[in-house]
Structure formats: structure tokens, C-alpha cells
Amino acid sequence: MLTLLTDNLALWAQGLQNTVALTLLSALMGFSLALPLALARLSRNRTISGVAYGYIYLMRGTPLLVQVFLIYYGLGSFSRELRNIGLWWFFRDAFNCGLLAFALNSAAYQAEILRGGIQAVPRGAIEAGRVLGLSTAQIFRKIVLPIATARMLPTIGNELVLLLKASAIVSVITVPDIMGQARSLYAQSFDLSVFYVAALNYLAVVLLIEAVWRRLEGRNRWLHFAGTV
């Protein structure tokens, strides 16, 4: 097993880089989409809330593998149309298709996490902002969002770990991530040890994420206290 690692360090390094990039980028893109989705879910306008709910229900209710296939193979069948509008450069790349699918899927989960975090902010904290003369936007930006973010950090960390483990799915559309490299090496050697090496790679990244997240939670612990006052 050690030989499989040392003799193919460049391949494993590329796989690790692609896996980490896919996980972090999809999480960031998902968060940027999740915030407006969460606000839409909290909207008193039933149409806006209903559309957001429909999107979240669809993305959470269908397998991620199906979503990856629909974007990679489904949109790939419209190559002529995508070329005409200048988007083929993006959709012809398997990594980009996987990234888009993961971001759209993660947005649905993060939106519900955000919604729960926002709803958990104590009413007193919001009222205190109004007493200080802050506008609604300022209250949201300076009070609601920081407290909500601190409260949902553990759940966001879990979502990041789940994204990392799910990233192995993109190997089926030829993305050379950790699992993609393991499958490639197995096809050459028929040695099951490559999957043990892949598992160790995933485990190492999970441990790193957990260590970073514990540090983040420790630095933002005061916001938990602020949100309970």
C-alpha cells in the first residue's frame, strides 16, 4: 500500500487538490446562493416563499448523482446552443459541471441551516438594535447574521464534511479527484489497496476540517452568549 502511495504521489496530489477545491468552492458558492434562498423562505410573500421552498425540496429530495448526470450529460446534449451563447467553455469541463451540481445542491441544505439560524436569533437582540436606531439592513448585517452564523457553525461544518465525502461522486464523470485517481490506479493494478489509500486521504482532510472548525467555533463562542442575552 505504501508503494502505491509513494510511486504515485503526483496523481494523489492532483486528486487531493481537485477534491479540496471542489468541496470548498461548492460550499462557498452554495452559501452565496443559500442566503437569498433563506431570506426568500422567510418572506411573507407566499409566491416568493413557495418558489424557494420548491427549489429546496427538489434539490434535497433528488439524489446528488442524478443532479450531476443531468448537468453533465443533460446540458452536454445542448452543446450547439451553449456554444452560441458562449457557455460551452464552462460546461464542457467535467469539473465545472460537478462544481455547479454540488453548489446548487449545497445551497438547498445551507439555506435551511441559515433559515433555522436566523429564526433562532433572540427577539431581544433585534429590539436592542432598533433602540440603537439601526436600520433593518444594519440590524440584519450587524446583529442577526453574525449571531445566526455563530449558532449554525457546527451544522455548516457537518455540511462541509458531507460535501467532501460526497465529492467522490464526480469520479463517475471522469473528474480526477481522490476517488477518480484511485479508480484509475485500480484499473492498472487491480490492487484494492488503492482504495485504502483513498480512504486515508479523505480521513486526513476530514480531520483537518474538524480542527479548523473547532478553532472557528472557539473564536465565535462569545456570539453564542450574546445571542442568549
Our CA angle for 210, 214, 219, nearest 5°, is 150
Name the CA radius of gyration of the chain, rounded.
21
pTM (2 d.p.): 0.88
d(CA 116, CA 52): 15
Q: Is the pLDDT of residue 2 over 80?
A: no
Instruction: For residue 36, name the pLDDT band (cuts at 50, 70, 90).
Output: very high
Given a contact cutoff of 8 angstroms between Cβ atoms, the answer to whether 107 and 37 are in contact is: yes
Q: What is the pLDDT of residue 227?
A: 47
What is the per-residue pLDDT for 127?
Answer: 86
Q: Count the neighbouring beta carbons within 10 Å of the beta carbon of residue 85.
A: 8
Confidence (pLDDT) at 72: 95
Q: Where are the chain's structural domains?
A: 2-226
More confident position, 117 or 52: 52
Condensed to tens digits (0 to 9), the pLDDT of residues 61-116 reads 999 999 999 999 999 889 889 999 999 999 999 999 999 999 999 999 999 999 99
Cβ–Cβ < 8 Å for 11, 181: yes
CA distance 97 to 119: 33
pLDDT at 121: 85
Q: What is the per-residue pLDDT for 125?
A: 83
Residue 22 has pLDDT above 80, yes or no: yes
137-159: string of b/e by CB count within 10 Å (b at 16+)? eebbeebbbbbbbbbbbebbbeb
CATH superfamily of 2-226: MetI-like (1.10.3720.10)
- The three grid cell numbers given for residue 195, joined into one nine-digit string: 482504495
Amino acid identity of residue 47, one-letter, is T
Q: How far, CA to CA in Å, does 69 sit from each of 22, 49, 58, 72?
A: 16, 28, 15, 5
- What's the average model confidence in pLDDT over 34-42? 94
Angle between helices 94-119 and 145-166 (to 10 degrees): 140
Condensed to tens digits (0 to 9), the pLDDT of residues 162-209 reads 999 999 999 999 899 999 999 999 998 888 889 999 999 999 999 999
Number of residues in the chain? 229
Residues 6+ apart with CB under 8 A from 48: 40
- The answer for residues whose C-beta is within 8 angstroms of residue 36's C-beta and 6 or more apart is none
